[in-house]
């Protein structure tokens, strides 16, 4: 097993955003990571499987099983091999959320019962619960186990907001817990969690101590085919309420692949005001620039960020297409957003402009590839769904014309399913934020962790030979 100092060094390569690691092509960083069916393991081998278990619940039941359906192939394969798959993952951000109903839903999907473990890590993160550690050896070949929500334990989020001077202080604790899991639970780690893009203990720290790391069928395909394809996008369509998506768009711009950006929602508001100020004018954002604590508030520093992004776009020759009119909260159409008002959708002239620009891009760019994320307004309200609904129709046309079209998970996927179908685009992801991060200029944490572990194991095997 990796020693403490090598563990610290490997972890720091991920934490410090090492330039050499981030600059590797995705193909190179994925190359040494095998798919689950390449593992040669005897029957009864316990395999820890980090899975996408973050599914929506309604009235205590799984409302959308798409992520469970995505991981089912890998879990079934592990059962067929007579391994003992030990599934774990998170459910939302609330540590009180329990995965018990998810275990029930996945068990029905697999056609068998899943043993659920409600407590497995000590509350202080110092080690495994004795009752769990003692029971692990009793699990039988082919038995499926699911552990409680990883975010129940603070240790899962240790690396989220760690400052550089705190790094050394957490290494020993993380290493101790990871080593104990390796010793008592499993030495094999399979990642089947596309959406686990945060710097989590479970997905980006634990793999470093394992003897073997592999990707599940779904994650392997998403990474090696669809994310690889989406990273070639020359056009990105970014929208939505979350202004922090501006960070993701900034990183996509920095990769230097883009020819055009179409934006709506809060991102467009920041860019619209920045564009006006760069021209010596201004643009009112209405309620969005009134600091009332609302989610749609756009603070001044975001305008400055947007200005820098627009300057970079000009230098790189990237065309930025923004709305020219809006549907306001009272249902009226306006080219401006008056004080006290909110924009709830793009207006008819903007829909026309977006359609023209998308058609222009699809017909004039060789091997046209585009990525769409978010929705253009409060699309769950039919009064403000027109812009999103119309753009889905434009996406269908672009796909039929030969463009490669990718749609992010979350609201973009919901809109596609509401106004079209998965077959209307080249590919629709089940994850949102992870895909945005993957399109940027830094690899996500679990990809780097898997790569580093595979590198170390390859070096060890070469030394033995």
- Kindly report the length of the chain: 465
Q: What is the pLDDT of residues 362-395, one digit of tens each?
A: 988 878 999 999 899 888 888 999 999 999 999 9
Q: What is the pLDDT of residues 181-207, one digit of tens each?
A: 999 999 999 999 999 999 999 999 999
What pLDDT is stored for residue 409 in this prediction?
84
Q: Which of 302, 311, 301 is nearest to 254 (CA)?
A: 311
CB 377 within 8 Å of CB 350: no
Residue 293 has pLDDT above 50, yes or no: yes
Query: What is 177-220 written as a DSSP string?
Result: HHHHHHHHT-SEEEEE-TT--S--IIIIIGGGG-SEEEE-HHHH
The domains located in the chain, with CATH, are 4-225+443-464 (3.40.50.1260), 232-438 (3.40.50.1260)
| Mean pLDDT score, 297-319 | 96
Counting other chains too, the contacts that 280-289 makes at CB distance below 8 Å and 24 or more residues apart are: 283/336, 283/337, 284/336, 284/337, 284/338, 284/339, 285/337, 286/337, 286/338, 286/339, 286/340, 286/341, 286/342, 286/343, 287/340, 287/341, 287/342, 288/337, 288/342, 288/343
Residue 461 has pLDDT above 70, yes or no: no
What 3-state DSSP class applies to 132?
helix
Task: Mention every residue, 6+ apart, whose C-beta is less than 8 A from residue 11.
Answer: 171, 174, 205, 208
Residue 463 has pLDDT above 80, yes or no: no
What pLDDT is stored for residue 242 in this prediction?
83
What pLDDT is stored for residue 169 in this prediction?
97
| Mean pLDDT score, 325-353 | 94
Query: What angle do the packed helices 348-364 and 386-400 form, to 10 degrees?
Result: 20
Residue 295 has pLDDT above 80, yes or no: no
Q: What is the pLDDT of residues 222-262, one digit of tens each?
A: 999 999 999 999 999 999 878 888 999 999 999 999 999 99
Residue 464 has pLDDT above 60, yes or no: no
Percent of the chain with pLDDT over 90: 86
What is the Cα–Cα distance from 461 to 465, expressed in whole angstroms? 6
């Amino acid at each position: 097993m990796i020693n403490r100092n090598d563990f610290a060094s490997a972890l720091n390569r991920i934490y410090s955003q090492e330039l050499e690691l981030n600059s590797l092509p995705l193909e190179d960083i994925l190359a040494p990571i095998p798919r689950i069916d390449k593992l040669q393991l005897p029957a009864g081998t316990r395999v820890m499987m980090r899975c996408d278990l973050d599914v929506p619940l309604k009235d205590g039941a799984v409302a959308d099983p798409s992520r469970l359906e995505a991981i089912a192939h890998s879990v079934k394969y592990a059962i067929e091999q007579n391994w003992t798959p030990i599934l774990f993952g998170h459910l939302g951000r609330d540590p009180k959320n329990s995965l018990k109903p998810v275990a029930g839903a996945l068990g029905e999907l697999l056609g068998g019962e899943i043993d659920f473990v409600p407590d497995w890590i000590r509350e202080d993160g110092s080690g495994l619960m004795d009752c769990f550690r003692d029971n692990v050896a009793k699990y039988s070949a082919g038995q499926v186990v699911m552990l409680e929500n990883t975010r129940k334990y603070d240790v899962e989020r240790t690396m989220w907001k760690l400052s550089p001077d705190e790094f050394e202080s957490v290494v020993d604790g993380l290493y101790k817990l990871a080593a104990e899991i390796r010793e008592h639970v499993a030495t094999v780690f399979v990642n089947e969690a596309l959406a686990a893009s945060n710097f989590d203990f479970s997905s980006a720290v634990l793999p470093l101590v394992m003897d073997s790391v592999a990707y599940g069928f779904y994650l392997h395909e998403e990474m090696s085919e669809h994310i690889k394809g989406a990273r070639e996008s020359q056009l990105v369509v970014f929208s939505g309420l979350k202004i922090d998506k501006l960070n993701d768009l900034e990183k996509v711009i920095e990769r230097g692949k883009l020819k055009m950006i179409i934006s709506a929602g809060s991102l467009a508001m920041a860019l619209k005001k920045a564009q006006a100020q760069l021209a010596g004018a201004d643009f009112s954002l209405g309620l969005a620039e009134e600091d009332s604590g609302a989610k749609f508030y756009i603070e001044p520093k975001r305008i400055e960020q947007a200005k820098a992004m627009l300057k970079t776009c000009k230098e790189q020759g990237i065309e930025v297409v923004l709305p020219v009119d809006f549907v306001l909260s009272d249902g009226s159409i306006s080219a401006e957003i008056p004080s006290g008002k909110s924009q709830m959708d793009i207006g008819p002239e903007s829909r026309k402009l977006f359609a023209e620009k998308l058609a222009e891009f699809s017909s004039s760019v060789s091997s046209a590839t585009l990525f769409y994320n978010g929705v253009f307004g409060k699309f769950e309200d039919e009064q403000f769904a027109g812009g999103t609904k119309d753009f889905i129709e434009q996406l269908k046309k672009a796909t039929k014309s030969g463009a490669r079209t990718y749609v992010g998970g979350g609201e973009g996927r919901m809109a596609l399913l509401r106004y079209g179908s998965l077959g209307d685009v080249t590919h629709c992801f089940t994850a949102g934020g992870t895909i945005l991060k993957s399109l940027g200029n830094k690899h996500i944490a679990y990809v780097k962790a898997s790569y580093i572990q595979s590198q170390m194991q390859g070096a060890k095997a070469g030394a033995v030979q």
